[in-house]
Chain A
């Protein structure tokens, strides 16, 4: 059956091959895909999940999800992009005009995600710029206005929290209080979008050059941190804690759900970015090998990063434990007037029990907090909390702090930047493919306008309530929609385009037919998995109350965050954000149905010159 191959030869887009940009070499393409997949989540989400869900045992659901969901979906994206040589909108309208909505939805999601992702980069840039000084600005509390003491907010919480919530975000106590845009954040935002612009200015011609640095630099820094982390005291405790498997955790269905969603978001599926990247490939390229390679590199990077992160976190826990003991020792020495430094950390426990038995009333007066290393190791953090609060505190205690801070935030910036390239390609490639603008408009101008519009929209994140809005975007704008789009991707390719036709195309491109593993996962397993994840996700979202934690210095239990409900208008905007991308799927499908019915209706009468009715 060669009909598939013949049909493949005559697909649109082949004639315009010479005009379409190309990768300089295969390595650039692989690096770009790896850079897009490897992002901030590999550093600050995967280690947290590993720690929370029973250490080494988490790797089991993680790899199961990788094999049955991540790699098959990834292969589909690379294959359709490479075959149909268009961005997401073009690809889906080629597969079926009714599925054009999937492409438009992916385009919208890429746009929304690039808005808030670059905001995170803005914060990273701010910290990076502030790392070039010693002592680091988040290591001390500033004095208050009348110079009688330190700022109260800083004393009640701690220095890193104060720097993050007050000196960086200047956060409002409530999402209703929008406040004003913070000028230092606006400057960093403009700088971030300018940096993104200079890299994306000519599409893959420019990102292809930038990627050599931005994709490889994080690995260098991770290695440096790994070596430094392993030599710090307490690193081994952290690593043992991370990887000790707790197999009973596997019975909790939440673990499997989080593993599946982590694989899904980690590989940056359903954004349209990978489709855009592979559309610039030569048609005969082994996309199967690429898919497996890139997915495995992404997972290995997550593991590598978690080793580095956890050796540093082990050091932090040990440091905190020692600080706790030292505080207690000082209290005891001061109370009983023992000589300075007479109690060492090793003798603390013995001394403590002895004193408790002999002088229990005086000891009770001291109100000593008990110190256990396990408690400090249990304190986990993910996301911005890990980077801007936990890690910044650790780096204060490492000798040569400014250097480590510069390296760390430089690494985070590179990681985020390569992911931004993929997001922007997911936005720019469909715009350029749809050719809504005349050819005389240079690509540089289109890119500039896109970056400018995104920058203006992102200004709302520089408001004092910006962090609360970012959490909303993070939780609601992307996750659900991506799951829907991925589901339609698999269904669209397996059933609408036809699995047989697709396998013929892949055979034409790679030279070998996809084996039974691919066919079974594409046809049955991945759609089922995605459906299950989607339903569980919806159930969890409905069960979770729409609350947020606000940083309120007036709160009684400060520095614990005050839990507040989202006001009505915020909930409306949240629902709109979740629906806006995926509403295009039914919208476009219905639109196509109507236009086709109208077209058929017109040609049901014979034409006046006796010719046959034209089949539209």
Chain B
């Protein structure tokens, strides 16, 4: 029986090897940049990490297409380099073929975040070549920040202008009040000292003074030129 097993096993591995090849049908290339992402805390890529990767891919396909039959052994890795990069395919458990690329792609896209987190990587350091990333919506607050700061600055300036204008008006009113006040004071001052030679000057209201009729007659005696 062992003799019969051997050719079957080798046949299976040969078929598997044929399914997973660089640029094979429905195969994807994966590239990891562990040192760039983690620096000193980078872990080594070994068979256990490969096992986790296969598990994540199998999990994605199970949740996406609800095929409970997909096992870790259905995910095949090959051409692993020191980069670290490798190719993988997913075989259909019922047939001896690979699952279509579109299905695998959609499954990976749906669970990209979880796959990234499992390895402490992100979209740039764990690259699935030919699987585009879905960009998350930009996190914008309801009011852009610049409008808030604009409102603060603008209201401060407007308040300042109003204060300055009001203080200007206040100053003007005080100035004009002071002018009228000094005017009254001067009038009072004049009404006090206006008695000369016993004659109160305020009786002499007219600027021209009083006409002295004693002199007026003299002018008529002179002959006119």
Contacts and interface: CB of A to CB of B under 8 A. Distances in A.
Given A129-B150, A340-B35, A143 B138 contact: yes
A130 B146 contact: yes
Interface stretch (A19-27, A197-205, A541-549, A593-601): A197-205
B83 A195 contact: no
B4 interface: no
A194 B162 CA distance: 12
Interface stretch (B57-65, B93-101, B110-118, B152-160): B152-160
A191 B160 CA distance: 13
Interface string B18-44: 000000000000011111100000000
Interface string B126-139: 00000010110110
Nearest to A188: B150
B135 A444 contact: no
B160 A198 contact: yes
B161 A201 contact: yes
Contacts of B150: 129, 187-188, 191
A337 B36 contact: no
Interface string A40-58: 0000000000000000000
Contact of B83 (A142, A187, A337, A442): A337
B34 A340 contact: yes
Contacts of B33: 340-341
A259 to B, nearest CB: 39
A608 interface: no
A428 to B, nearest CB: 16
A333 B82 CA distance: 10
B52 to A, nearest CB: 18
Interface stretch (B9-17, B164-172, B197-205): B164-172
B155 to A, nearest CB: 10
Q: Which of B33, B35, B81, B150 has the largest number of chain A CB atoms within 10 A?
A: B150
Contact of A191 (B134, B145, B153): B153
A253 interface: no
Contact of B135 (A133, A149, A188): A149
Contacts of A187: 150
Given A147-B137, A195-B157, A197-B161, A202 B168 contact: yes
Given A187-B150, A442-B172, A147 B83 contact: no
A147 to B, nearest CB: 5
B83 A129 contact: no
Contacts of B132: 148-149
Nearest to B129: A334
B164 A206 contact: yes
B149 interface: yes
Interface extent on B, as a size class?
20 to 34
Interface in A128-151: 129-130, 132-133, 142-143, 147-150
B35 A129 contact: no
B105 interface: no
Interface in A555-588: none
Contact of B134 (A130, A147, A201, A341): A147
B157 A132 contact: no
Contacts of A444: 164-165, 168
Nearest to B83: A337
A15 to B, nearest CB: 20
B85 interface: yes
Contacts of A442: 168, 172
Contacts of A341: 33, 35-36
Contact of B157 (A129, A142, A198, A202): A198
A337 B161 contact: no
Contact of B161 (A133, A188, A198, A334): A198
Interface string B51-88: 00000000000000000000000000000011111000
Nearest to B164: A201
A420 B144 CA distance: 29
Nearest to A339: B82
A198 B162 CA distance: 9
A338 interface: yes
A333 B164 contact: no
A613 to B, nearest CB: 30
A224 B195 CA distance: 77
Given A191-B154, A337-B83, 16 more contacts: A129-B150, A132-B146, A143-B138, A148-B135, A149-B132, A191-B150, A191-B157, A194-B154, A194-B161, A195-B157, A198-B161, A202-B164, A339-B84, A340-B32, A340-B35, A340-B36
23 contacts: A129-B150, A132-B145, A132-B149, A133-B145, A143-B135, A149-B132, A149-B135, A150-B135, A194-B158, A195-B157, A198-B157, A198-B164, A201-B161, A202-B164, A338-B83, A339-B82, A339-B83, A340-B32, A341-B33, A341-B35, A442-B168, A442-B172, A444-B164
What 8 A-B pairs come out closest when comparing CB atoms?
A129-B146, A337-B81, A341-B35, A337-B83, A339-B82, A143-B135, A340-B35, A340-B33
